[in-house]
Chain A
Amino acid sequence: MRHDAQVLIVGGGGTGAALAHDLSLRGVGVTLVERGELTSGTTGRHHGLLHSGGRYAVNDRESAVECIEENRILRRICPETFELNDGLFVAVEEEDLEYVGAFVEGCEACGIPAHRLTRDEALRLEPNLNPDVKLAVRVPDGTIDAMRLPLRFFATARRNGAVIRPYTEVSGLLVHDGLVSGAVLHDHVTGKEGEVHADIVVNATGPWSEHVAAMAGVDVPIRPSPGVLLALRGRLCNMVLNRLHKSGDGDIIVPQRGLSVVGTSSWVVEDPDDLTVPEDHVERMYTEGAKLVPAVRSAERRAAWSAARPLIGTKGADTGRELSRTFKTFDHKETDGVEGFVTITGGKATTLRGMAELCADVICRKLDIDEPCRTRETVLLPHWAYYAAAA
């Protein structure tokens, strides 16, 4: 029987990138396909926030602990990919003050360094803050380059032998007698159809994973949950700014290159390809963002867009806010009796490496490969090496 790769990864976002890297380091033969450009789905469009975990420290401590651990690892393995600008959680209204105690306590419990700053200290660091600021808490958030971080994983995976094929769309899976053995591919560069045969096919398509899983006749409980983001010209702040309250809309501003990105909102859709940018959501970004930094109101709009989070949850959810930010690996042999097919989904950019580690553990067990994960220590190649390493 024809055999092209041990593992075929479907999806060229951050999750696929980190998984290709992890498996390649363990000596597993990987082919990754992506229907468009790498990171052209949800990955490239995210907020660009390297989470300290602070945002989850009160309500979701498991996620918060994951975040701070991965935050520290990423700073080590991806030098110069982040702005090490830290973040402020800012109390601007009286009611925000009620949240401070729980917030600092949560951070401490999760091992997230959190320092209280007075109003004056906060304003000295960020002079454009709302002058009504009551106090702020400083945490090790940072700014990620949403595309170049995954490119470093792709570059390193490729250097270690992985085959990365953008512009290659999966049009069907090869399924026989409860076994997935590969995929039918449409190559958009050549215009030709082809097949790739593999021991395991991994569905790493984020909000599209329900669609790909259906090709194997199985279901994954994914709720594509879009949010609107607004990019304004100019850097209104140098640190990542969060409202110090329970997570809500438009309560984060991430300075990104020469832009300031305000986000986000949350709702649920059926088709992650068909995303709109509701103007009332954009307006909410202005209104809520201006509570943190009043200059948001008058800043020039550079772009407004939507990105669909791949949240795990069953039908019925309608805003996405009630859904968990955790990730999950589904071995469809265990859940649906379909062998050779694994779905990894959920999660967020900050935890991409950790998600990949757990998924690679599952895959290696299935392949009977006994190799430890090495991604915690391996410093990644720079993003441009992806092109230099091109075949």
Chain B
Amino acid sequence: MSTTATRPLSIYRYKREDGAGRFDAFDVPVDECATLLDALRWIQLNRDPSLSLRHSCLHASCGTCGVRVNGREELACVCSLAEQDGDIRVEPLANLPTLTDVVVDMRPFYDRLPDEHPLIRVSEWPPAAQPDDGPFVRLEDCIECGICISSCPVAANGFAGPAAMVAAARSLEEPRATEREDVLAWINRPDGVWQCTTCRACVDRCPAGIAPMEKIVGMRRALVERGDVDPLLQQALQNFAMQGNSYGKSARRRARWTKGLDFTIPDARKEPSEYIWFVGDFASFDERVQRESQRLAKILHDAGVSFGLLFEGERNAGNDVRQAGEEGLFELLVEQNMKAFADAQFEAIFTTDPHSLNTLRNDYPEYGLDKPVYHYTELLVDLVTRGKITLAPTLRGTRVTYHDPCYLARYNGVTDAPRALIAATGAELVEMPRNGSNTFCCGAGGGRIWGAESEAGERPSEQRIREAQALGDIDYFVVSCPKDLTMYTAAAVTIGGVGFEVVELTELLERALA
């Protein structure tokens, strides 16, 4: 008998009469199963006919076979088995009720759309165009698979969801003037565009290549231009215009956190330095995060790194302002920051804030910034590599998990540097199911932190803390973003008795410094 290579699959099973779900294990022959759907159908045909599946077209056109594979949403019919590492765990999509096994009930997907005017339409415009009229205008091509709803951190926290917003965007792109006002009013509701955290999970996962989040930001711009903005968000945006920060605090207080240090940090505008530390609002003004800024300042100072600050010259970098749809204010902030950079002599920028990193690295070059921009974890890895910092494995026996910030991992692909630093401390890193470039969002991004908080469902930060809890016996929940520190500290308190502490990565590093 020939031996056939097999892969183990663990599949979620649920039948209404049995109550709670469970996972069943199966081995499937690799040579007969190119895709995950092949494997699931092989099991149904050869091992367990009671396994229920959703599928129809088998080529990523109908959108029925969405599932989660090791925490990542995939259309099973185009999910290559060979590209999956290790064990394969298959679950139904999240944020939709499970009907049976890995099958979800799609009715609530459609409930997320308005009743008044149908937004799901054919993707060609005009709908009756003939080829003679020139190429079709192909609008969005949503296949209604529910994958974006499953991947969205706030779809269960008061947001109608990416698919509904895409449908709205599609109808706004279409010249039907009579509906325009209705659709704009609909997306401006409390469950509309302002709930998006801009985490970009929907863009990463959409099998039809739509970028829902980008459409949402576009619609925010349209609302901002009309002055239709959530009142709390409006207040934060006014603070930016007045003081250059979201706290509405005087710009002169921006560097007050340095008062607690037993050394002074130079003003980069007065003396040349190798790096400018772009601190960001949270790390400058939030009391809890200020302590982390001081900790990092000390580490860098002791390592002999040449760095300076812009003091009152630094403004919010504008990342979330832009994602909130305020282009004009974003450009004002860029102009002010660029002026401060122009007054300084430096070789590179590092920042403690992934949101600032994103816009400084990806948007500012368009406005003339020609210096490299690093996240502080990248800088620290460099210092370790060059022997400027020595870390000892003093945290051996400690179990930690690490949360990747959206703007670091999804937007900028920085996932190795923080892990290298954790490894150097000797701590054991236990990954959450959603990690690296498939991370989960804390719920604070894209300006959402300034808007009205939704009371519906569970906050993403709390969902994430539960995900870490499920790992069992974790000592620390490690973060590398000021917003994460604030959000997860609060979420851990809300949940209570979580058994681990939320810490900024610098705190671990401090303990491992030789």
Residue numbers of A with Cβ under 8 A of B are 36-40, 43-45, 48, 80-81, 83-86, 125-126, 145-148, 167, 186, 188-192, 229, 231, 235, 238-239, 256-259, 261, 273-274, 302-305, 307, 382, 384, 387-388, 390
Contact in complex: A305, B56 (CB < 8 Å): no
Hey, which chain B residues are within 8 Å of A148, CB to CB?
Answer: 62
B103 at the binding interface (Cβ < 8 Å): yes
In the complex, what's the smallest C-beta–C-beta distance from A185 to chain B, in angstroms?
Answer: 13
- A190 CA to B127 CA, complexed, in Å: 42
Known: A239-B131, A258-B209, A305-B58. 19 other contacts (CB 8 A): A36-B54, A37-B103, A43-B56, A44-B57, A80-B121, A81-B122, A85-B136, A146-B56, A147-B56, A191-B18, A229-B59, A235-B138, A259-B61, A261-B59, A303-B35, A303-B59, A303-B60, A384-B120, A387-B107
Interchain CA distance A304-B37 in the complex, whole Å: 12
CB of A90 to closest CB in B, whole Å: 14
Q: Does B16 contact A (CB under 8 A)?
A: yes
- Residues of A near B120 (CB, < 8 A) are 382, 384
Cross-chain contact A86 with B130 (CB below 8 angstroms): yes
Given the complex, which residues of B lie within 8 Å of A239, measured CB to CB?
131
CA A303 to CA B58, docked complex, whole Å:
7
Which residues of B lie under 8 Å from residue A231 when comparing CB positions? 59-61
Say yes or no: is B312 at the interface (Cβ < 8 Å to chain A). Answer: no
Q: How far apart sit A388 and B50, CA to CA, in the bound complex (Å)?
A: 27
**Taking A83-B122, A189-B99 as contacts, is the C-beta distance between A167 and B62 under 8 angstroms?**
no
CB of B123 closer than 8 Å to a CB of A: yes
A and B contact pairs by CB, cutoff 8 A, 9 listed: A37-B54, A40-B54, A44-B55, A83-B136, A145-B62, A146-B61, A186-B50, A303-B35, A382-B120
* Cross-chain contact A190 with B17 (CB below 8 angstroms): yes
The interface residues of chain A lying within 8 Å CB-to-CB of B144 are 384
Which residues of A sit under 8 angstroms from B130, Cβ to Cβ?
84-86
Select B56's contact among A40, A80, A86, A273, beta carbons within 8 Å: A40
Measured CB to CB, the nearest residue on chain B to A390 is B107
Question: Given A84-B128, A257-B143, A303-B60, do A190 and B15 touch, yes or no (CB 8 Å)?
Answer: yes
Q: Which residue from chain A places its CB closest to the CB of B208 in the assembled complex?
A: A258
Question: A189, B16: Cβ atoms under 8 Å?
Answer: yes
In-complex Cβ contact of B58 among A38, A45, A125 (8 A):
A45
Q: Which residues of chain B have C-beta atoms less than 8 A from A80's C-beta?
A: 121-122, 127
A125 touching B132 in the complex, CB below 8 Å, given contacts A274-B45, A390-B107: yes
Q: Are B56 and A85 in contact (CB under 8 A)?
A: no
In Å, the complex CA distance between A23 and B138 comes to 37
Contact B64 A302 (CB under 8 A): no
Contact, CB under 8 Å: B61 / A191 = no
Q: Given A83-B124, A190-B16: A302 and B78 within 8 A (CB)?
A: yes
Contact between A39 and B143 (Cβ–Cβ < 8 Å)?
no
Nearest chain A residue, comparing its CB with the CB of B209: A258
Most B CB contacts (10 A, CB to CB) among A43, A256, A257 go to A257
Inter-subunit contact A257/B208 (CB<8 Å): yes
Which residues from B are CB-within-8-Å of A81?
122
**Which B residues, 62 to 106, have Cβ-Cβ distances below 8 Å to chain A?**
62, 64, 77-78, 99-101, 103, 106
Say whether B59 contacts A259, CB under 8 Å.
Answer: yes
Cα A85 to Cα B122 with chains together (Å): 13
A235 to B137 CA separation, bound complex (whole angstroms): 12
B256 to chain A, nearest CB (A): 53
B166 within 8 A of A: no
Chain A CB within 8 A of B475 CB? no
CA distance A317 to B138 in the complex (A): 43
A257 near B53 with CB under 8 A, answer no
In the assembly, what is the distance between CA of A80 and CA of B139, in Å?
Answer: 14
B118 within 8 A of A: yes
- Listed residue (B52, B99, B107) with the most chain A CB atoms within 10 angstroms of its CB: B52
Cα A148 to Cα B59 with chains together (Å): 15
B45 / chain A contacts, CB cutoff of 8 Å: 273-274
When distances are taken between beta carbons in the complex, the residues of chain B under 8 Å from A188 are 15, 50, 52, 100-101
B131 touching A191 by the CB < 8 A rule? no
Question: How far apart are the CA atoms of A44 and B58 in the complex, in Å?
Answer: 8
Q: Which residues of B are interface residues toward A (Cβ below 8 A)?
A: 15-18, 35, 45, 50, 52-62, 64, 77-78, 99-101, 103, 106-107, 109-110, 113, 118, 120-124, 127-132, 135-136, 138, 141, 143-144, 208-209
A145 to B118, CA, bound (A): 18
Contacts of B110 in A (CB 8 A): 384, 387-388
Residue A302 contacts which of B60, B100, B107, B136 (CB distance < 8 angstroms)?
A: B60
Docked-complex contact A167 and B124, CB < 8 angstroms: no
Interface centre among B99, B124, B131 (most CB of A within 10 A): B131
Distance in angstroms between the alpha carbons of A188 and B18 in the assembled complex: 12
Write out the residue numbers on chain A whose beta carbons fall within 8 Å of the beta carbon of B109.
387
Interface pair B103/A167, CB less than 8 Å apart: yes
User: Whose C-beta in chain A lies nearest to the C-beta of B58?
Assistant: A305
Q: Which residues of B contact A261 (CB under 8 A)?
A: 59
| Contact (Cβ within 8 A) A167 B99 | yes
- For the complex, give the distance between the alpha carbons of A126 and B60 in Å: 25
Q: Identify the closest chain A residue to B15 (Cβ).
A: A191
B121 and A40: CB pair below 8 A? no
- Per the bound structure, the CA–CA distance linking A229 and B61 in Å amounts to 13
* Residues on the B chain within 8 Å of A125, using CB: 131-132
Most chain-A Cβ atoms within 10 A of its Cβ — which of B101, B113, B122? B122
A43 surroundings in chain B (CB, below 8 A): 56
- Residues on the B chain within 8 Å of A48, using CB: 61
Bound CA span A331–B324, Å: 65
Interface pair B53/A37, CB less than 8 Å apart: yes
B16 CB contacts on chain A under 8 angstroms: 189-191
Q: Are B15 and A36 in contact (CB under 8 A)?
A: no
Rounded to whole angstroms, the CA-CA distance of A191 and B101 in the bound complex is: 11
Residues of A within 8 A of B107 (CB): 387-388, 390
| A49 to B124 Cα, complex, angstroms | 17
Contacts of A36 in B (CB 8 A): 52-55
Give bound CA distance, A199 to B200, whole Å: 54
By a CB distance below 8 angstroms, the chain B residues around A126 are 131
List of A residues within 8 angstroms of B124 by Cβ: 83
Provided the pairs A238-B135, A257-B141, A261-B59 are in contact, do residues A191 and B17 lie with their beta carbons within 8 angstroms? yes
User: Complex formed: what's the CA distance from A385 to B54 in Å?
Assistant: 19
Contact status B50-A302, CB under 8 Å: no
Is A37 within 8 A of B55, CB to CB? yes
Residue ID in chain A nearest B45 by CB atoms: A273
Docked-complex contact A238 and B52, CB < 8 angstroms: no
Known contacts: A36-B52, A189-B52, A274-B45. The answer to whether A45 contacts B131 by CB under 8 A is no
Q: Roughly how many angstroms separate A270 CA and B113 CA in the complex, as a whole number?
A: 44
For the complex, give the distance between the alpha carbons of A302 and B79 in Å.
10
Chain A contacts of B60 at CB under 8 A?
231, 259, 302-303
Which of chain A's residues has its CB closest to B119's CB? A384
Most buried by A among B54, B59, B118, B124: B59
Chain B contacts for A145, CB-based, 8 A: 61-62
Within 8 Å CB of B209, what residues of A?
Answer: 258
Of chain A, the residue at the smallest CB distance from B143 is: A257
Residue of A nearest to B46 (CB): A274
Beyond A44-B62, A83-B124, A190-B15, whether A167 also contacts B52 by CB under 8 A is yes
A127 to chain B, nearest CB (A): 10
A146 x B62 contact (CB < 8 A): yes
State whether A40 touches B55 (Cβ < 8 A): yes
Of chain B, the residue at the smallest CB distance from A41 is B56
CB <8 Å contact, B131 and A44? no
Contacts of A259 in B (CB 8 A): 59-61
| Contact residues in A for B77 (Cβ distance below 8 Å) | 303, 305
Minimum Cβ distance to chain A for residue B95 (Å): 16
- Contact of A257 with B61 in the complex, beta carbons under 8 Å: yes
Give the CA-CA distance A188 to B55 in the complex, in Å.
15
CA A125 to CA B131, docked complex, whole Å: 7
Question: A84 — which chain B residues lie within 8 A by C-beta?
Answer: 127-130
Q: Report the bound CA distance from A303 to B77 in whole Å.
A: 8
**What's the Cα separation between A388 and B106 when bound, in Å?**
10
Which chain B residue lies CB-closest to A84?
B128
B59 CB to closest chain A CB, in angstroms? 4
